[in-house]
Chains A and B, each alone.
Chain A
């Protein structure tokens, strides 16, 4: 998917006006919050659990190169093949080549944010392959030719009426109830699974010491995608690796609870290599694509690299007041909400995505919700500081604020010329500052308190005496 990440303001304005979307977002928000609160609330010694999961993630960051090498060796030991991709283009080419070599014409896909990130579907389609998303939410957005709008609920922005209309138009089946709509998708996709040559999935984790990928899901589409087709390709980014099955268990105790409130998702799948020679089903080939696409650059940025500790439970989205108002599409790319505001600028460019770190109220609800203790607001502030250093207006303002005399002189002048700050947005030669003013309700510049105080004191005195 092509990043439209520089367009946050326009997309936000559009989203904020969409009342249906806001109702849908509110419903999603209360659903996911209630689930998460229940799921984590049921787990005794939660702080210990969180500390353990956080430690797992930080060990991944600390030992990433060794863990990736260990993972590679053990995947190969289990009969799988490992491919390294520096960027999206390489990953697309690797996967298309696996398809070509194996005479693949039909591909089924499990839900995966990373394959959205690398724009895999259009690339495979251009190579002449049929590609079908099989997670219900992903299937809906694929039919609608829209990007997903939530990490764990891709079609969160769609109402049942919209899905019904879409199915009628694209599949020729009409239904109104959610159960019927689900059944229609099941029937169409069942056929796709049984005839597919290749299944492509992401990975929630990869266990270095056993060479396994761990995939968590509710629908069974990932099990179908790894069981029925001849070839299974799992795509992971560098930071998905953990060391041992014990590490996996520590993360599994929190991931589903924090995402949906389930103690475990319906299916927790641990896939190690291809099916063995004597087994009846399962993919006969297993390929693991280890993708960088900007992660090693993030790792080289000590102030921001904790972004990569994320386990993609989506809890930060459910608690973010900005996401809750504008939804996922406003972020203009695959990742939305607080984690998207962190990842987007780092995976594209801070300048291009400069609005994303600004779209944070600093309330800290995301950091509180995060099961592995990522401090999103702090890292977003770091990004803002970096942006401000390159911004002449911000630099001028901060210099003035640091020098009281300069600030008083400036404020006095402004008070004289435009006390209501109403002309600022139209003032010639004010460029960036004028644009800043145009989008905001600015306060009136009032007389400083020190000057108002003598009169105020007299007034209060009189009140007390009367």
Chain B
């Protein structure tokens, strides 16, 4: 405990001798973009996220089947989420010949071709999918498999983008605590560490695909 009290005492002494003056804070600017599918589509394009807008559950299922075929997906793991259940995602995948596996931890997820999640929020201007850790929402699903597919609803788009994150964090508290992990995912994992040349697909997914669900989902969520 001596390090602790030494540090705090020294800091207090320094600030007592010469306080830091803090400036007045201007109000945070108003949102500078429209939180709609167009803004999101544009942002996704910048960050190399494939985006498909679908207008019915059937169209969503068809888009999923196409995606699984196009990416040669043999195994997938998915969140236990009412939205995915309402859209019969598991059945759709099985019909497409995809085997559903648990993939609930890193070693399991490392054997899986595709992780399917929803989004707890979407930042339209940054092009980010926000996911939080929950018992039904393992962290590895959106991280370890080479392909991450996320299904997002229009009401998940935050009008203020990054400025609205604090509000959401507060909303997501369980027993007074923030979720153990919240990740804003903005495109496939990437690096530019060699000669500043951009390469997609480093330690996380090589590809991120998003289905925008442009229809009301009454029965769930």
B-binding residues in A (CB < 8 A): 24, 27-28, 31-32, 43-45, 48-49, 51-52, 54-55, 58-59, 61-62, 64-65, 68-69, 77-78, 84-86, 90, 134-137, 140, 153-155, 158-160, 163, 178-179, 181-183, 185-186, 189-190, 193-194, 210-212, 218-221, 223-224, 226-228, 238, 244-246, 248-250, 252-253, 260, 262-276, 278-282, 290, 292, 296-297, 299-300, 302, 305
Partner of A84, one of B3, B133, B162: B3
CB proximity of B89 to chain A, nearest CB, Å: 19
Tell me the B174-193 residues at the A interface (CB within 8 Å): 174, 176-193
Which 10 residue pairs spanning A and B have beta carbons closest together?
A220-B204, A245-B166, A300-B14, A137-B193, A220-B189, A220-B203, A62-B20, A280-B104, A84-B4, A228-B106
The winner among B6, B10, B138, B196 for most chain A CB atoms within 10 A is B196
Given contacts A65-B12, A281-B138, contact A265 B202 (CB under 8 A): no
* Complex: A104 Cα to B202 Cα, angstroms: 26
Contact present for B193 and A270 (CB under 8 Å): no
Contact present for B169 and A210 (CB under 8 Å): yes
Tell me the B112-143 residues at the A interface (CB within 8 Å): 123, 125-128, 133-135, 138-140, 143
Given contacts A44-B29, A220-B189, A263-B125, contact A65 B15 (CB under 8 A): yes
Tell me the B1-60 residues at the A interface (CB within 8 Å): 1-4, 6-8, 10-15, 17-29, 32, 43, 47
Contact sample, A vs B, 14 pairs, CB 8 Å cutoff? A61-B20, A62-B15, A64-B15, A68-B8, A153-B193, A153-B196, A163-B194, A179-B199, A182-B199, A248-B165, A266-B204, A267-B185, A270-B169, A279-B138
Given contacts A52-B25, A86-B6, A273-B180, contact A62 B162 (CB under 8 A): no
CB proximity of A177 to chain B, nearest CB, Å: 9
* Complex: A57 Cα to B126 Cα, angstroms: 23
User: Across the two chains, which residue of chain A brings its CB closest to B1?
Assistant: A84
A-binding residues in B (CB < 8 A): 1-4, 6-8, 10-15, 17-29, 32, 43, 47, 104-107, 110, 123, 125-128, 133-135, 138-140, 143-144, 162-163, 165-166, 169-170, 174, 176-197, 199, 201-205
Contact present for B110 and A190 (CB under 8 Å): yes
Partner of A62, one of B4, B19, B174, B185: B19
User: Across the two chains, which residue of chain A brings its CB closest to B206?
Assistant: A186
* Complex: A273 Cα to B29 Cα, angstroms: 32
Partner of B195, one of A61, A159, A280, A290: A159
Contact present for B8 and A193 (CB under 8 Å): no
CB proximity of B44 to chain A, nearest CB, Å: 12
* Complex: A195 Cα to B123 Cα, angstroms: 34
User: Across the two chains, which residue of chain B brings its CB closest to A44?
Assistant: B32
CB proximity of B103 to chain A, nearest CB, Å: 9
Contacts of A28 in B (CB 8 A): 196
Contact present for B127 and A212 (CB under 8 Å): no
CB proximity of B36 to chain A, nearest CB, Å: 17
Contacts of A51 in B (CB 8 A): 23, 25-26
* Complex: A405 Cα to B141 Cα, angstroms: 79
Contacts of A275 in B (CB 8 A): 133, 180-181
Contact present for A263 and B138 (CB under 8 Å): no
Given contacts A65-B12, A178-B197, A270-B182, contact A221 B23 (CB under 8 A): no
Partner of A292, one of B3, B106, B125, B138: B3
The winner among A32, A54, A264, A273 for most chain B CB atoms within 10 A is A264
Given contacts A65-B8, A69-B8, A178-B195, contact A59 B22 (CB under 8 A): yes
* Complex: A69 Cα to B126 Cα, angstroms: 33
Partner of A220, one of B24, B165, B202: B202
The winner among A31, A65, A265, A305 for most chain B CB atoms within 10 A is A65
Partner of A223, one of B1, B25, B107, B139: B139
Contacts of A260 in B (CB 8 A): 192
Contact present for B191 and A300 (CB under 8 Å): no
Contact present for A194 and B107 (CB under 8 Å): yes
User: Across the two chains, which residue of chain A brings its CB closest to B199?
Assistant: A182
* Complex: A292 Cα to B128 Cα, angstroms: 34
Contacts of B163 in A (CB 8 A): 249, 253
* Complex: A250 Cα to B205 Cα, angstroms: 28
Partner of B184, one of A86, A267, A279: A267
Given contacts A54-B23, A55-B23, A292-B3, contact A219 B183 (CB under 8 A): no
Contact present for A64 and B185 (CB under 8 Å): no
User: Across the two chains, which residue of chain A brings its CB closest to B46?
Assistant: A263
Contact present for A245 and B186 (CB under 8 Å): no
The winner among B15, B188, B189, B195 for most chain A CB atoms within 10 A is B195
Contact present for A78 and B178 (CB under 8 Å): yes
The winner among A68, A69, A163, A245 for most chain B CB atoms within 10 A is A245
Contact present for B22 and A266 (CB under 8 Å): no
Partner of A266, one of B17, B29, B190: B190
Contact present for B8 and A282 (CB under 8 Å): no
Contact present for A270 and B194 (CB under 8 Å): no
Contacts of A248 in B (CB 8 A): 165-166
Given contacts A64-B11, A263-B125, A275-B133, contact A270 B203 (CB under 8 A): no
* Complex: A210 Cα to B163 Cα, angstroms: 17
CB proximity of A189 to chain B, nearest CB, Å: 7
User: Across the two chains, which residue of chain B brings its CB closest to A253?
Assistant: B162
> Could you list 6 further interchain pairs (A-B, Cβ under 8 angstroms) beyond the known A78-B177, A185-B202?
A59-B22, A178-B195, A219-B189, A245-B165, A245-B169, A281-B133
